[in-house]
Amino acid sequence: MTVKKKIIIGFSAFLALLLVWYLFIKETDYCISFKVKTATGTVFQGIQEWTAAQLLKDKEHYVILEKRNFDFIKQEMKKGNVQMEYTWSIKSTNDSVTTVSVGIKDLNCSLYNKLTVPFFNTEFKQEQIRKITDFKQGLSDHLKNFKVKIDGKGSSEETFVAYINLKSVLQEKAQHMIANDASITGFLLKNKIEIIGKPYVEITKWDLDKETIDFNYCFPIDKNTKVIENEVVKFKKLSAIKGLKATYYGNFRTSDRAWFALLDYAKKKDYKLENKPLEHFLSNPFNGGEELQWETKIIIPFASE
């Protein structure tokens, strides 16, 4: 057998294997990629919030099949006879840019899509481009509502506080604070205990998989205040901690966007953090005003060695 024939046979075998992989092994029919200037966790949250909104908007029902915080999420979508899979890969490419790749598979017409998508602008292809473009636009609009500035390594100040312990899913932290604000401030007012600083939120437990948090909603008071026994309101010292700091500007409902930015920054710089953010709210949302002027100082402590 001549060298030329060997090359032809080898190349043909390679093409045959590639075709078999593409048609029968490759998990997705079509892939769309884009970049966005934000943290991976913000994209991860955005995907879940957007797909939840799709149920109300387009009657699309999404179920999470698999996820890995904050860089991977696989979903199944059903709408009538349509059944799709969306596999999102989320990767931080530098301190501020995230690359998102969405693999899409039509469970009813996968082979047809694989044969037609590379060559034709099919209805399937147009619909997926429209849908992911809609998500990207919604995410871009959301990013206009807040700013995060990484301040680097630093420390918090020791503070004596009255606090109330709360639990919630991550997305509802601010709602729980607002709902319980009167309980703690009313107690302090009734007992003539003066609040001498801006409130804190101390995260005591953050379950990344379940996306739930346990936290203390705290108000600074004089350290010599007489402790009053109460089933709800407690007193303690917030010790000074060392960690990575950021400044967040925006609505307190989405201050976790700064947490995600700090986690990405720590990963790039090889810092080990304990997932217990401490937030210090320097603005009062009850006074209204421009949300981008609301300032929050955030620190996530270094993990103990």
CATH number of the domain where residue 99 is located: 3.30.530.20
The rounded distance, in Å, linking the Cα atoms of 123 and 186 is 59
Q: What is the pLDDT of residues 90-113, one digit of tens each?
A: 999 876 899 999 999 999 988 888
Residue at 5 is within a domain: no
- Going by pLDDT thresholds of 50, 70 and 90, the confidence category of residue 4 is low
For all residues of the chain together, what is the average pLDDT? 90
Residue at 1 is within a domain: no
Please say if the pLDDT value at position 211 is more than 60.
yes
Q: What is the pLDDT of residue 289?
A: 78
Q: What is the pLDDT of residue 19?
A: 45
The stretch 118-142 carries a mean pLDDT of 94
Same domain, 81 and 100: yes
Structural domain ending residue among the three candidates 87, 119, 144 = 144
Same domain, 28 and 136: yes
Q: Express as a percent the part of the chain with pLDDT over 70.
A: 90
Structure tokens at 232: 């709800």
Residue at 219 is within a domain: yes
Structure tokens at 219: 């108000």
The rounded distance, in Å, linking the Cα atoms of 122 and 116 is 7
Q: What is the pLDDT of residue 155?
A: 97
The stretch 124-151 carries a mean pLDDT of 96
Please say if the pLDDT value at position 216 is more than 60.
yes
Same domain, 125 and 159: no
Q: What is the pLDDT of residues 74-87, one digit of tens each?
A: 999 999 999 999 99
- Going by pLDDT thresholds of 50, 70 and 90, the confidence category of residue 18 is very low
Same domain, 287 and 170: yes
Same domain, 170 and 136: no
Radius of gyration of the chain measured on its C-alpha atoms? 25
The rounded distance, in Å, linking the Cα atoms of 289 and 305 is 43
**215 in Cβ contact with 275 (< 8 Å):** no
Same domain, 132 and 162: no
Residue at 6 is within a domain: no
CB atoms within 10 A of CB 133: 12
Same domain, 242 and 169: yes
Structural domain ending residue among the three candidates 144, 162, 189 = 144
Q: What is the pLDDT of residue 28?
A: 86
Half-sphere exposure of 195 (CA within 13 A, CB side): 15
Q: What is the pLDDT of residues 162-184, one digit of tens each?
A: 999 999 999 999 999 999 999 99
Maximum distance among all alpha carbons in the chain?
98
The pTM assigned to this predicted structure is 0.89
Residue at 14 is within a domain: no
Same domain, 172 and 92: no
Please say if the pLDDT value at position 15 is more than 60.
no
- Going by pLDDT thresholds of 50, 70 and 90, the confidence category of residue 3 is low
**155 in Cβ contact with 183 (< 8 Å):** no
Q: Express as a percent the part of the chain with pLDDT over 90.
A: 79
The stretch 186-192 carries a mean pLDDT of 95
- Going by pLDDT thresholds of 50, 70 and 90, the confidence category of residue 300 is very high
Residue at 8 is within a domain: no
Length of the chain: 305
Burial 65-79 (b: 16+ CB within 10 A, else e): eebebbbebbbebee
Task: Out of 15-24, 183-192, 200-209, 216-225, pick the least confident.
Answer: 15-24
Q: What is the pLDDT of residues 19-50, one digit of tens each?
A: 444 445 467 899 999 999 999 999 999 999 99
Q: What is the pLDDT of residues 235-279, one digit of tens each?
A: 999 999 999 999 999 999 999 999 999 999 999 999 999 999 999
Give me the domain span that covers residue 90.
24-144
CATH number for the domain spanning 252: value is 3.20.80.10
Query: Quick check: bond before 70 cis, omega within 30?
Result: yes
- Going by pLDDT thresholds of 50, 70 and 90, the confidence category of residue 285 is confident
Same domain, 97 and 228: no
Same domain, 41 and 62: yes
Residue at 122 is within a domain: yes
Please say if the pLDDT value at position 205 is more than 90.
yes
Please say if the pLDDT value at position 11 is more than 60.
no
The rounded distance, in Å, linking the Cα atoms of 178 and 181 is 5
Same domain, 124 and 169: no
Same domain, 137 and 184: no
Residue at 7 is within a domain: no
Residue 109 Cα to chain centre, angstroms: 32
Please say if the pLDDT value at position 198 is more than 90.
yes
Structural domain ending residue among the three candidates 101, 129, 144 = 144
* Number of independent structural domains in the chain: 2
